[in-house]
Amino acid sequence: MVLRIDEIEVGTGRKNKSVSVTENYVVADNVDTVFCDTTGGDIAVTLPAASDHLDRVIVMVKTDASGNQVTSEGQSMASQYASLKAQSGGTNWIPLL
């Protein structure tokens, strides 16, 4: 379930959106930040094709204190406010530290 979407306009004229989710989610083309509430269970975040989004960065944040996990691109997190970032290299998504 998608709970809300907020828009932030950046200097490129592109609008970056954030979305809050409580279940598995496929990242939309206009979403750059995914806030994940895993209170109800683990959440898998699926990123779009890297080949269509060269240099795009997507951030995923776990917002709750439960022991459930957020997973994406082979990475996972279980701590509240932990985040995963990935950037498209054109052929795959590269985890950013």
d(CA 48, CA 72): 11
d(CA 91, CA 66): 34
Residue written as tokens 């970056």?
A: 16
List the chain domain ranges.
Answer: 2-92
Strand partners, 17: 7, 31
Tens of pLDDT, residue by residue, the chain (97 residues): 555 545 545 445 556 799 999 999 999 999 999 999 999 999 999 999 999 999 999 999 999 999 999 999 999 999 999 999 999 999 999 999 7
pTM for the full model? 0.84
Query: C-alpha 47: how far from its chain's center?
Result: 8
d(CA 51, CA 31): 16
